[in-house]
Amino acid sequence: MYQPSAFREERLEILHALIRAHPLATLITAGTGGLIANLVPFTLADAGDKGTLRAHIAKANDQAEPLKAGAETLVVFHGPEAYITPSWYPSRKEHGRVVPTWNYVVVQVRGTPHVIDDPAWLRAQIVDLTSRLENQRPEPWKVSDAPQPFIESQLNEIIGIELPIVSIEGKWKVSQNRSAADRQGVYEGLQAEGISERMAKLVAERK
């Protein structure tokens, strides 16, 4: 990943927080048929030095074979993002040397996957994932709410993925390379147009 020093994020707790807040990631593998990518929701366990990702996919998924073969795997988690117009920069009126850009937050994880075909493991992973996503709802749905035979049939159609994290890097591109006046302009522009409240806060926080 192209990584200018101004945008680099290396604090593990910040990287983990992004993963937990945005669990739907792009799972990328390379197999005999070339590159394959799928969107997959992940859970993050505090196992190993850098954590361990867990997920499940359909057995019929073309990505199952390269995962079973232990192919090097890349998982990309996307956080807040927003288009940034140069119209928000006060420096535009000073010298005009400005261009549009895009602000974004991303975490990339690499590791060697282990495929797990065990109903108990799969149920635990699904319960963990569902609980994390449902626990803020007034009436959370639980896996146990569905008929047991139905859940068992669904478990028979999937396999688990466990990915001990070998490397993890984050990029917080949130206008840190601009002047204080330009950053304030970006913050105010995002707020005024209601584009991304979270990105506006990140621009204000990171200098």
Per residue in 53-99, pLDDT tens? 999 999 999 999 999 999 899 999 999 999 999 999 999 888 988 99
Per-residue pLDDT, averaged over 32-57, amounts to 95
Q: Is the pLDDT of residue 103 over 80?
A: yes
pLDDT in tens, 124-153: 999 999 999 999 899 999 999 999 999 999
Q: Are strands 158-164 and 73-84 parallel, antiparallel or unpaired?
A: unpaired
**Which pLDDT does position 48 carry in this prediction?**
87
Neighbours of 60 (CB within 10 A): 8
How many other C-beta atoms can be found within 10 angstroms of the C-beta atom of residue 170?
Answer: 24
Across the range 187-197, mean pLDDT stands at 92
The CATH code for residues 5-85+101-176 is: 2.30.110.10
* Domain boundary assignment for the chain: 5-85+101-176
Q: Taking a C-beta distance cutoff of 8 angstroms, is the pair 203, 80 a contact?
A: no
Q: Torsion angle of alpha carbons 58, 51, 67, 160, nearest 10°? A: -30
Query: In this structure, which long-range contacts are made by residues 8-12, counting pairs with CB atoms below 8 Å and at least 24 apart in sequence?
Result: 8/169, 8/170, 8/171, 9/169, 9/170, 9/171, 9/172, 10/169, 10/170, 12/50, 12/51, 12/168
Element (H, E) at 127: helix 119-134
Which amino acid, residue 26? T
pLDDT at 8: 97
10-29 tens-digit pLDDT? 999 999 999 999 999 999 99
- Report the side by side order of strands in the sheet with 101-111: 8-9, 167-173, 101-111, 73-84, 24-31, 34-41
